[in-house]
Amino acid sequence: MKFNLGDFVRFVDEKREGYVTKIIDAQTLGVTDEDGFEIPVAISNLTSVHGHGVVAKEQDAPKPIQVNVPSLNKIENGIYVAVAADGKAGSVVHFHLQNQTPNTLLISLSSERKEKYAGIYHGIMQSFQSILIHSASLSELDIWPEFTFQFLVFSKADVKPLEPLVIIKKFRAKDFSSEQRDLPNLKQKGWLIRLDELASVNIDPQKLKESFFKSPSEKRVVDVPNQEIDLHIEKLRDDHHFLAPDEILQIQLSHFQNALDAAIVHHFDKMIFIHGLGNGTLRDKIHKLISKNPHIKTYMDARKEKFGYGATEVVFK
């Protein structure tokens, strides 16, 4: 019988159960019991316990308007790993991949340690879904492998396709140094680690070099944007009545980013983005992006007598 890391197993010759937390060799596994002790056991002395533990459920994707409600702990949209402590085996933790975005993800997860590679998980993940992908013993954190997460991102919205994401993550003690919190979509406590903020930007040196030698006619021309950018969807698309809420948000954010980039290229002093009030999702997203932009000096509510609290003024450096 073949066992994988994280499988819940029972000993054949004694009353003991636990999780597979180490593959020692072709005949022996490390099994961590409910007391947190890892025991080397012959594979022939183990049997699987089916139906145990948390079963990943495919959930109907909720509308993005629900992302910021308390049941999801108001976490920001993104791709996360929720690391949950096991209720029985104290040192065992379970890794749940969480897609807190309106996009569909094609996923590949592999590991590497001392130049030995292993595939751990692959599959398709719908928006706002949580999937159990791995289990390990926290007491052996120092010998955990390095994990490589690969994501292809699919969206139905009228936006430019995102580049594939490749995130290489080596979990360290600092990832688990904070207090455990309630995990979204899980009735468990643990640690929430965001992955998509760790994605590296790959620059092709040859393409970069070629761009320096392009003639003016070959270089992209960036139009001068308006000083005031209205992000209401009816101002951006005539077919807005047929768009889903997640598509609308993606279009608005794409238009915002294009206008912001154009303002920076043309050395604007300031710019106003009209986002309206609504449920605050678009405003919060815009403020988050603005706060991370190194070209922006500050931002504030635009003239309240004209826009109320439905617009943000950006001041560039």
- The segment with the largest mean pLDDT, out of 153-157, 184-188, 227-231, 277-281, is 227-231
Amino acid 16 reads R
Residue 201: pLDDT band (50, 70, 90) is very low
Say what the pLDDT of residue 204 is: 55
- The segment with the largest mean pLDDT, out of 64-68, 222-226, 263-267, is 263-267
Say what the pLDDT of residue 99 is: 92
Share of the chain above pLDDT 90, in %: 23
Say what the pLDDT of residue 132 is: 93
Say what the pLDDT of residue 176 is: 82
Averaged over 268-275, what is the pLDDT? 92
Identify the DSSP state of 71: G
Q: 71 and 59 in contact (C-beta within 8 Å)?
A: no
Q: 101 and 127 in contact (C-beta within 8 Å)?
A: yes
> Per DSSP, which regions of 74-201 are E strands?
78-85, 92-100, 104-113, 116-125, 129-137, 146-154, 165-169, 181-182, 189-194
pLDDT at residue 24 tops 60? yes
User: Can you give the pTM of this predicted structure?
Assistant: 0.47
- Give per-residue pLDDT as tens, 118-153: 999 999 999 889 999 999 888 888 889 999 999 999
**What are the backbone dihedrals phi and psi of residue 129, each rounded to the nearest 5 degrees, phi first?**
-110, 155
pLDDT at residue 205 tops 70? no
103 versus 305: which is more confidently predicted?
Answer: 103
pLDDT at residue 304 tops 80? no
pLDDT at residue 3 tops 50? yes
**Averaged pLDDT of the chain:** 80
- Give per-residue pLDDT as tens, 66-119: 333 333 344 678 899 999 988 776 678 999 999 988 889 999 999 998 889 999
- Give per-residue pLDDT as tens, 27-48: 888 887 776 677 888 888 888 8
Say what the pLDDT of residue 162 is: 83
Averaged over 212-233, what is the pLDDT? 75
Enumerate residues 6+ apart whose C-beta is below 8 A from 184: 71, 72, 73, 75, 82, 98, 100, 130, 192
